[in-house]
Amino acid sequence: MVHQKEIERRKLNVETKRKALEAQIASLRAQFQAEEQELKKLTAQEQLRRNGATQLRKEMARVRKAD
């Protein structure tokens, strides 16, 4: 027969593990969100770079035609 103290000890142990697990999950979510935001930023910068290069080519072509 399991004593009440043993049951309470196990409950406390499980609760401690649950809290640690939740903290790890929160940390992983925060890391993931930071990486996701960085990727979005890089993607936006690349798109701006591409748009700028396209615009520059168009302008150069326009200037050449004007010559």
DSSP for 6-23, please give it: HHHHHHHHHHHHHHHHHH
pLDDT of the chain along its 67 residues, tens only? 679 999 999 999 999 999 999 999 999 999 999 999 999 999 999 998 888 888 878 878 878 887 6
Q: Give the 3-state secondary structure percentages of the chain, helix then strand then coil, rounded to 5.
A: 95, 0, 5
- Please report the pLDDT score of residue 55 as a whole number: 84
The domain locations on the chain are 1-67
On the CB side of 16, CA atoms within 13 Å amount to 6
